[in-house]
Structure 1
Amino acid sequence: MYRYLAFVWNSRNLESARTVNALSTSAPATWNLAYEGTGIKLFRTDARRTASVYRLDRNGGVIFGKLFESHTEAEVPRQAQFDADEALRVVRSGGRRVVERYWGTYLAIVHDDAARKHHVFRDPTGTLPCYSTTYRGVDVFFADIEDALHCLPGPFSIDRDHLSRWLYSLSLAREATAIENVEPLPAGECLTLHEQARTRTRIWDPVAVASAPNFERPEEAELALRSAVQSTVNAWASCYRNITHRLSGGLDSSIVAGCLAHAPAKPQLTFCNLAIEDSDAQQQVHLLGMDRATIEKVRAIVSHGDERRYARLVAQRWGVPLVERKRSPELNMQRLSAIPLRLRPLMYFASMEMDDTRMEMVRNHGAEAFFSGQSGDTVFLATTQPVASIDYARRHGLRPALWRHLLASSTLSKESLWTVLQKTVSHGLLRRRYVSRFHTFWRTTLLNSELATQMAHSEQTLREAQHVATAALPPGTQMLANAIASTAYHEFVVHTRGLADDIDPLDAQPVWEVALRIPSYTSLKGATSRGLARHAFRDVLPEEIRKRTAKGSGSAFYQNVVHKHRGLLRDQLLDGHLVNDGYLDRRKLEECLALDDPSTQIVASTLLSYLAAEIWMQQWKQVGTATAARYRNAVS
């Protein structure tokens, strides 16, 4: 993760200028001033210097990160270069030209001197974190709150509403942080600062992309998808000499592995697999709040988390060393209190062993970057919903080919042909709203009843807003467009954040733009989840993986973790901040933890998330006490 700290202010305001100077002097000596322009100061705080600083001539601002050219026939996309003319085009477009002509991981601060405006935005898929706050007329942007704490006196208080949303459902926590007065800069949006005015405009819209001419024909879609993924992998692979790829053995990570093996840069590759213990794999997974039909669907596609056999097939195919490590439920959960500060609770229990393995790969194997297959489920369309026939009917109406898609949707969804036909007529031909079963199940929670009711209403409001925003799209494409906001994985990068970069090549603007233009009935080729991707990359996939439709799951593993750590959960939660501050219902919590297997009452990962939030609150209450004193001194 690239780390930075940027100050943006109205250069005509002398008081703001003095504030920036005061904040800058508190920066640690390890920080370096990467750019200084009219109303802009950018410090880079990452020691590895893998990010680039693109200075826009004529006082046009700066772009920090990695940028590659779009719309190029080059096998390896070139890194961006901005001469004076190109910089002028960027400024005149208010920054839009960056989104239209380039892609990558970046923060852009574009300065329009004539209009006295600053335009601030990040890459449309949000792979580079960007948070902001204001202090005495200065806008402060940063990737890591610990960097901001070096110079900002605060105050930093916990946002009760957002923390409630996080505890109820992570999907409700996308557009804010759990700390007051600190907010994320939404991906795809541009914040324009003009004297005292602040406006937001969307400069990259997934709905507009999906509404463009689409790749209807499977042959054309295959070529476009294959080209976008391989080109993206080629671009990122050219930036590193030593890459470790997190190879789960699933379809998505196997596709990225094959593309890495074909990258022209030929970096040194190591594959890494993290598997759960065999004993955990045999445990029955409790599926709470779902009806019988939905449970049967889930059980049909979910397998245990030990996929080493498949990872070995891929490693053997490409002759790449495979490092295998195991996960054990005997986790040292006390480590949750030693992780760096975050702006919302971090589910470190989900990545603790991977964090250890990544540190091992940096120290012993010289890893400069970690690649993964993250976002593959989304961009390749992993679903068992009958959206193919619904989307086809909505796009094309009653045509002979609809019958073929009805049969395919029935096969994929394991629903009767009659049921699929009813849904296709209702949601396809008549264009009524389609709601997936996975969005209607009862959510298990130990929040107090009043708070749980409020959050359930908030979740319904969110889904209504998402539907309104994407209503012009067929349901299958709506699912894809709404998923873009939830693809940021940088929050799970902990102790290697300053030692190696994390690259998710499938979570890239060129890949998303192709995926959004492929209709669901094309993506689900062969009546198979991610069917088009299976066919497009068939030559780089072992046949056993290409045909495999089950997905590995860690649910049973977390159930075992909860079972083994009930004592710690009781000690931390029953008389903790979440109970005392009115978030969790103590009676419900006590009854749950008294069970031999609490996972029969609440999803194991949810209970572990409560523990993560409790420890996170302990951290921030300590920080809050210290910063409150600093803030009082600063304003006195």
Structure 2
Amino acid sequence: MHAFIALLWHADHPSACHSAHKFLGRMEQAFDADHPCIKTPGFMLFDLGSNTTRDTIIRVNGADHKPVGAIFGTLFRRSNALAPSRPITNFAQDEMLRLSRSRNECVLSDYWGSYLAFHSDQDGGSVIADPTSSIPCFFLVHQGVLIVFSHLEKCTFIDPESLSLNYKFVSDLLAYDKIQSGATGFNEIQELRGGEKLVFHGPRLSRHLIWDPRVIASNHIAPCYEDAAAELRAMTRYVVQCWASAFEQTTVSLSGGLDSSIVLSCLSDTPFASNVRAIHFVMGTDDLTEVKFARASALKAKLPLKEIQFGALNLPRLDSHPRSARPFRKFLTLIPKLADIADILSPDSAILTGQGGDHLFRARTTTLGFADFLIDSGVSRNALRELLNSARLSRKSIWAVLREAIPSLALGARKSTLITGIEHACTPVNRSALASLDPRTCAPVWALEANGLPPAKFEQVSTLIHLFLVRETLDQPFHRNFVHPLISQPLIELCLRLPIYLLSWNGVSRGLVREAFKGEIPDCVRTRTAKGASTQFFVKQVTSNIVELREALLNGRLVEAKLLSRNDVSKFATVESVQTHEFGHKMLIYYTIEAWLRNWIEKLENVRTSA
């Protein structure tokens, strides 16, 4: 897990220097002095993570060979030949000059990975978050010092008395807990989103969007299907193998579905294979079992598989949510018995998942691919073929496809899928919060406005926000070195440039990637379009703990703050309601928000009482 804290300030301002060194003193009292760090006038960066055996700070020097910043995280050089390579541990002089002259912006075109790029100069500095937002990046300004950090719960040296709860943000989370607005649970703390650059000049802060997926998607390519499949296969293997090279031991979380099976296959018959194995978590509910598919994929890859049973459905204690900058779903993650996973928790090991494939490879039944084809090619000789493919993909008649696709050709008709989803996710408990939420404040502009993209491609772009929320957000031991290799910038950019009707080749969900990995994964997995689900697992978790959930919310801080209605909670928090309502599982989200809010209110009350 990557965790850090950084300080930037004006080295020529005495008051800012005094504040920075005073803050540094508190930091050094709070944690081990052996943490890797870089210290220069106006800039300090500390690695607070658990990966002490790996280099996570890469120094960047200017033309005078003096430090002007650093890259924190895991970084790979781009390769036109798609030749896998290990992470960068240092830059050549010409690379540092290019980085320093561009104030690190060339990191987006020349490199990729999981990182934050820091630049420092006499006027202040800047921070760039990688496009996938893989490392949480929060910031605040205190007495002339920009404080940037990944995990507030690790930053015990930040004075809680300087923080005030942002109740509007908490209310918005009840309506839609995947908000990426840049706001947090505190009025003083903001979040830097993926592909953004934060510029710090004195007391002035400004954000700039420097990676826009709509720009990538507008530069589309349309190779023949055979070439597209070959390129998709090569790119997928490249990013997976690069990530595997970063660790001594790699474990693939093998669900048995298409995407995780592809990840495992990319590591078979490679130099990494001897250090690769697979694990499969057995849910133990009425959801469609995936065990036989996981076994088939492991057998095809000739790699060992370990099956781990999830039995207990207990909720984490209300007082155990880390004091993070905002509530996170990861709080609810069930942790297996340590005896089952002890051998995969070392700093030199990683767990790779197949997360991200649904979004990138397009596991979606839509009619809009035909609209995109008409925009790209007009009523050409392949139009009938694509009309039939869209009908097959959407499971609708060609007339229904025409009724939905033709009106979407008008630019004004392209509504963000994200906004539609937010408006739909209403329960009796959150309807008041939903009514006060402006959906257009919930995400970056690229997820809200098409900017000329065809309708199906904009649908893909607007849902990337969910993809970028798949990250390790809390400081918990089980989450160390969880890596989602499919959520890598080169693969994302390729999938953005490929037309939707090509990704859904032959009218099949994820059709192109299925063809790309023909012969690499078992056909029972490759051709299967039904997906395993964990829906019943979460419903069972709610119903098994309905009394605890009900009491926590009825007597909680959310009701006290009038963010929830006690009457609404009382009516909805029943086994029958949860089992019959489409969003009954959201009771777990409300519990998470309640746990976070309760933990912080008690902390702030104790601090102010003792003061």
Same fold by TM-score greater than 0.5:
yes
- Separation in 1, partners of 2:152, 2:443: 30
- Separation in 2, partners of 1:463, 1:345: 17
Instruction: Report how far residue 344 of structure 1 moved.
Output: 2.1
Task: Go from structure 1 to structure 2 and tell me whether the alpha carbon gap of 1:346 and 1:593 turns closer, same or farther (over 3 Å shift).
Answer: same
- Separation in 1, partners of 2:513, 2:567: 48
Range moving further from structure 2, 152-161 or 523-532: 152-161
Structure 1 residue 420 corresponds to structure 2 residue 427: no
Task: Go from structure 1 to structure 2 and tell me whether the alpha carbon gap of 1:602 and 1:621 turns closer, same or farther (over 3 Å shift).
Answer: farther
Instruction: Report how far residue 117 of structure 1 moved.
Output: 4.5
Residues 358 and 496, structure 1, Cα contact 8 Å, conserved in 2: no
Match of 2:32 among 16, 30, 33: 30
Deviations 1:345-395 (CA, angstroms, capped at 9, x unpaired):
2334652135858843436x9971110001110111110011220111122
Deviations 1:521-557 (CA, angstroms, capped at 9, x unpaired):
0000021111101111112110000011111211112
Deviations 1:270-298 (CA, angstroms, capped at 9, x unpaired):
21111222xx31xxxxxxxxxxxxxxxxx
Residues 244 and 361, structure 1, Cα contact 8 Å, conserved in 2: no
Residues 352 and 482, structure 2, Cα contact 8 Å, conserved in 1: yes
Map 1:314-353 to 2 at 5 A: 314-328=297-311, 330-348=312-330, 350-353=332-335
Instruction: Report how far residue 440 of structure 1 moved.
Output: 8.1
Instruction: Report how far residue 221 of structure 1 moved.
Output: 1.8
Instruction: Report how far residue 602 of structure 1 moved.
Output: 6.0
Q: Determine the structure 2 residue equivalent to 1:46.
A: 49
Task: Go from structure 1 to structure 2 and tell me whether the alpha carbon gap of 1:122 and 1:430 turns closer, same or farther (over 3 Å shift).
Answer: closer
- Separation in 2, partners of 1:355, 1:391: 48
Q: Determine the structure 2 residue equivalent to 1:383.
A: 364
Match of 1:496 among 457, 472, 477: 477
Is there any run of 5+ residues in structure 1 with no aligned partner, and where?
Answer: 282-303
Q: Determine the structure 2 residue equivalent to 1:608.
A: 588
Task: Go from structure 1 to structure 2 and tell me whether the alpha carbon gap of 1:563 and 1:448 turns closer, same or farther (over 3 Å shift).
Answer: closer
Deviations 1:461-508 (CA, angstroms, capped at 9, x unpaired):
65895566323111222122223332232246552268x412111001
Map 1:9-408 to 2 at 5 A: 9-27=9-27, 28-31=30-33, 32=35, 34-49=37-52, 50-58=54-62, 59-73=67-81, 75-80=83-88, 81-112=90-121, 116-277=123-284, 280-281=285-286, 304-328=287-311, 330-348=312-330, 350-353=332-335, 359-362=341-344, 368-408=349-389
Residues 115 and 130, structure 2, Cα contact 8 Å, conserved in 1: yes
Instruction: Report how far residue 592 of structure 1 moved.
Output: 2.0
Task: Go from structure 1 to structure 2 and tell me whether the alpha carbon gap of 1:449 and 1:170 turns closer, same or farther (over 3 Å shift).
Answer: closer
- Report the residue type matching 1:404 in the other structure: R
Residues 306 and 552, structure 1, Cα contact 8 Å, conserved in 2: yes
Instruction: Report how far residue 560 of structure 1 moved.
Output: 1.7
Task: Go from structure 1 to structure 2 and tell me whether the alpha carbon gap of 1:497 and 1:179 turns closer, same or farther (over 3 Å shift).
Answer: farther
Map 1:381-530 to 2 at 5 A: 381-428=362-409, 432-433=413-414, 439=421, 442-447=424-429, 450-455=432-437, 458-459=438-439, 466=446, 469-486=449-466, 487-491=468-472, 494-496=475-477, 500-530=480-510
Q: Determine the structure 2 residue equivalent to 1:287.
A: none
Instruction: Report how far residue 623 of structure 1 moved.
Output: 2.2
Task: Go from structure 1 to structure 2 and tell me whether the alpha carbon gap of 1:449 and 1:522 turns closer, same or farther (over 3 Å shift).
Answer: closer
- Separation in 1, partners of 2:363, 2:481: 27
- Separation in 1, partners of 2:75, 2:144: 30
- Report the residue type matching 1:126 in the other structure: S
- Report the residue type matching 1:85 in the other structure: D
Instruction: Report how far residue 107 of structure 1 moved.
Output: 1.2
- Report the residue type matching 1:56 in the other structure: V
Structure 1 residue 576 corresponds to structure 2 residue 556: yes
Instruction: Report how far residue 613 of structure 1 moved.
Output: 1.4
- Separation in 1, partners of 2:495, 2:336: 29
Residues 74 and 115, structure 2, Cα contact 8 Å, conserved in 1: yes
Task: Go from structure 1 to structure 2 and tell me whether the alpha carbon gap of 1:349 and 1:30 turns closer, same or farther (over 3 Å shift).
Answer: closer
- Separation in 2, partners of 1:221, 1:101: 23
Q: Secondary structure at the match of 1:157?
A: coil
Residues 542 and 588, structure 2, Cα contact 8 Å, conserved in 1: yes
- Separation in 2, partners of 1:496, 1:594: 33
Instruction: Report how far residue 305 of structure 1 moved.
Output: 4.5
Deviations 1:70-104 (CA, angstroms, capped at 9, x unpaired):
13426223533423332121122122111110011
Instruction: Report how far residue 138 of structure 1 moved.
Output: 0.6
Range moving further from structure 2, 258-267 or 549-558: 258-267
- Separation in 1, partners of 2:164, 2:411: 48
Task: Go from structure 1 to structure 2 and tell me whether the alpha carbon gap of 1:231 and 1:424 turns closer, same or farther (over 3 Å shift).
Answer: same
Computed over aligned residues only, the root mean square deviation of the Cα atoms, in angstroms, reads 2.6
- Separation in 1, partners of 2:529, 2:447: 29
Q: Secondary structure at the match of 1:470?
A: coil
- Separation in 2, partners of 1:39, 1:577: 41
- Separation in 2, partners of 1:211, 1:37: 41
Q: Secondary structure at the match of 2:529?
A: coil
- Separation in 1, partners of 2:411, 2:155: 52
- Separation in 2, partners of 1:429, 1:448: 34
Residues 276 and 327, structure 1, Cα contact 8 Å, conserved in 2: yes
Is there any run of 5+ residues in structure 2 with no aligned partner, and where?
Answer: none
- Separation in 2, partners of 1:53, 1:473: 38
Number of residue pairs matched by the alignment: 600
Instruction: Report how far residue 588 of structure 1 moved.
Output: 1.7
What is the percentage of aligned positions where both structures have the same residue?
27
Task: Go from structure 1 to structure 2 and tell me whether the alpha carbon gap of 1:263 and 1:474 turns closer, same or farther (over 3 Å shift).
Answer: farther
Residues 180 and 442, structure 2, Cα contact 8 Å, conserved in 1: no
Residues 444 and 603, structure 1, Cα contact 8 Å, conserved in 2: yes
- Separation in 1, partners of 2:582, 2:384: 42
Task: Go from structure 1 to structure 2 and tell me whether the alpha carbon gap of 1:239 and 1:176 turns closer, same or farther (over 3 Å shift).
Answer: same
Task: Go from structure 1 to structure 2 and tell me whether the alpha carbon gap of 1:608 and 1:441 turns closer, same or farther (over 3 Å shift).
Answer: same
Q: Determine the structure 2 residue equivalent to 1:300.
A: none
Instruction: Report how far residue 571 of structure 1 moved.
Output: 1.6
Instruction: Report how far residue 150 of structure 1 moved.
Output: 2.4
- Report the residue type matching 1:389 in the other structure: F
Residues 91 and 111, structure 1, Cα contact 8 Å, conserved in 2: no
Q: Determine the structure 2 residue equivalent to 1:560.
A: 540
Q: Secondary structure at the match of 1:614?
A: helix
Residues 414 and 450, structure 2, Cα contact 8 Å, conserved in 1: no
Deviations 1:248-276 (CA, angstroms, capped at 9, x unpaired):
00001000010122443345122111122
Task: Go from structure 1 to structure 2 and tell me whether the alpha carbon gap of 1:613 and 1:602 turns closer, same or farther (over 3 Å shift).
Answer: farther
Residues 417 and 462, structure 2, Cα contact 8 Å, conserved in 1: no
Q: Determine the structure 2 residue equivalent to 1:292.
A: none
Task: Go from structure 1 to structure 2 and tell me whether the alpha carbon gap of 1:529 and 1:105 turns closer, same or farther (over 3 Å shift).
Answer: same
Q: Secondary structure at the match of 1:134?
A: strand
Task: Go from structure 1 to structure 2 and tell me whether the alpha carbon gap of 1:196 and 1:613 turns closer, same or farther (over 3 Å shift).
Answer: closer
